[in-house]
Structure 1
């Protein structure tokens, strides 16, 4: 028997359907009001897969109620009690201070808005594998990503990615195609150190066809010592593997894997293997932030 969606999700879907407004329009209106929420997050709220909990999400919910012509707290009162935080909620081990990206969500959204993303959800992310090598100077020498993708509709031929360097003053990286793809349109936010680009497949895919694509990131000097490697996923990923290999002469004091969804962070200590490599594997990941971070 299928579980019924929670009352909040049911009421939100009904209000959106009655208003006749699209999720894309609501996301744009929320950005204009200074309470941005991604299109993927709105979709998850409607499905019941996630719910607003953080202060920023609750502020956006208040604006959403106004946009949909609902009474104040008309949706918020349907939310269950907030899930536990702190020691009881997955943050028992944190030997390394958080190393969050320095860009703002609106800077990323400004880059993404330059592309037609209507077919982006027609590409399933079956697998993503990030391979990073850290040199004796503690700087990233190699950053390579391999993805296994599946077309859910006929004719899918590209994927949009956003990438950044290792510090707020680091130049925006260059995306270099390696396997089964080329680079299409590119947009760079030099002030934020962000690059967005289309990975164009070698040919359009048939429905349910899979493809393996690889690309590298190259950043011009000066580059700071690396403190983390993370992926920010806009759409679900079935499997994500990140490997970071350290030069034997420059090993970190601590290393942890982390994931963050809806403001909740899971952190777990990670040991290096005999090849001085730390790795983390995530399965059936929702949109969010995932990776490894370390201290020197």
Structure 2
């Protein structure tokens, strides 16, 4: 086995699977025969390094994997190292977080813009809570999004949060970024042709290890407002609590509202949801990410108002 690829759990698992010539479905079936249920997506994440076994049920699969792949007893288990600290929600942090640009449909464009700002603190800020409040006007257009983030520093010196906004309608003006609480705008990269805004929100103080901060900002759309049919957020790293509210004008109420969540696998969890009495949608996701979470909806006929 190539030792250059086996210094991590993911590398060892990937190399062993390749050496044995086994498919993930075959491995999944073998584990099931031993009473261990592991999905294909989970096996894929383990070998790619996106996640690793942490829960008791997942750890039970390690010994069977070593047997299936003809590895020495304890070999894979020894590469896992000690459990990760600070509660069960952090067990979903990947060993190597995916690059920010891969979360978007045009990664090359996003990657260029990302390189113009400082993202060095992104992986060292724990997402304790994030709250997005979206307003939709009487013309079915999205007026703006107000966002509140509660962050904790995992290293001395964290001093900024990076905002990435991608607008699907390339012929519309880019939204304005307004800092509201405990932050100011640092470097900002705007690419109207790509419908892209990347900006630094500089904290009002540099954080020390263990410090927390609450920052708020707003993205304000300019007319003509884009017709809203969905909203959501992409998460590169997990968040303990994500709250999404969408407030609709009384003159424009959608139909067939649905929530969605995906974690990078082939399947997306889509469920019907209903507005509350005030005409708003509310979604709460706990211990979520990496992945995407949001709402989609349809407008009643006629689809466009004059």
- Report the equivalent of 1:21: none
Hey, what's the Cα distance between the residues in 2 that align with 1:161 and 1:193? 14
Shift of 1:223: 2.3
Shift of 1:266: 0.8
Shift of 1:176: 0.8
Hey, what's the Cα distance between the residues in 2 that align with 1:173 and 1:49? 38
Hey, what's the Cα distance between the residues in 1 that align with 2:180 and 2:281? 24
Question: Contact between 1:13 and 1:46, CA under 8 Å: does it hold in 2?
Answer: no
Residues 11 and 169 of structure 1, relative CA distance in 2, 3 Å threshold: farther
- Report the equivalent of 2:10: 9
Q: 3-state SS of the aligned residue for 1:132?
A: strand
- Report the equivalent of 1:147: 149
- Report the equivalent of 2:270: 267
Give the 5 Å matches for 1:210-221: 210-221=212-223
The farther-off stretch of 257-266 and 210-219 is 257-266
Question: Contact between 1:102 and 1:167, CA under 8 Å: does it hold in 2?
Answer: no
Q: 3-state SS of the aligned residue for 1:212?
A: strand
Give the 5 Å matches for 1:1-296: 9-11=10-12, 45-46=48-49, 48-49=51-52, 103-165=105-167, 167-262=169-264, 263-296=266-299
State the TM-score, normalizing by the size of structure 2.
0.64
* Bigger radius of gyration: 2
Shift of 1:44: 8.8
- Report the equivalent of 1:19: none
Residues 288 and 107 of structure 1, relative CA distance in 2, 3 Å threshold: farther
Hey, what's the Cα distance between the residues in 1 that align with 2:228 and 2:168? 6
Question: Contact between 2:128 and 2:239, CA under 8 Å: does it hold in 1?
Answer: yes
Hey, what's the Cα distance between the residues in 2 that align with 1:102 and 1:117? 16
Q: Which runs of 5+ in 2 are unaligned?
A: 1-7, 17-43, 54-102, 300-306
Q: Which runs of 5+ in 1 are unaligned?
A: 1-6, 16-40, 51-100
Q: Deviations over 1:103-142 (max 9, x none)?
A: 4122222221223323211111111100011111111223
State the TM-score, normalizing by the size of structure 1.
0.66
Hey, what's the Cα distance between the residues in 1 that align with 2:149 and 2:269? 24
Residues 102 and 152 of structure 1, relative CA distance in 2, 3 Å threshold: closer
- Computed over aligned residues only, the root mean square deviation of the Cα atoms, in angstroms, reads 2.8
Question: Contact between 1:173 and 1:194, CA under 8 Å: does it hold in 2?
Answer: no
Q: Deviations over 1:265-289 (max 9, x none)?
A: 1111111011111111111112222
Q: 3-state SS of the aligned residue for 1:127?
A: strand
* Number of residue-to-residue matches in the alignment: 216
Structure 1: which 4+ aligned runs deviate by more than 6 Å? 12-15, 41-44
Question: Contact between 2:177 and 2:220, CA under 8 Å: does it hold in 1?
Answer: yes
The farther-off stretch of 241-250 and 285-294 is 285-294
Hey, what's the Cα distance between the residues in 1 that align with 2:104 and 2:162? 21
Question: Contact between 2:14 and 2:47, CA under 8 Å: does it hold in 1?
Answer: no
Shift of 1:102: 8.6
Shift of 1:173: 1.8
Shift of 1:14: 8.1
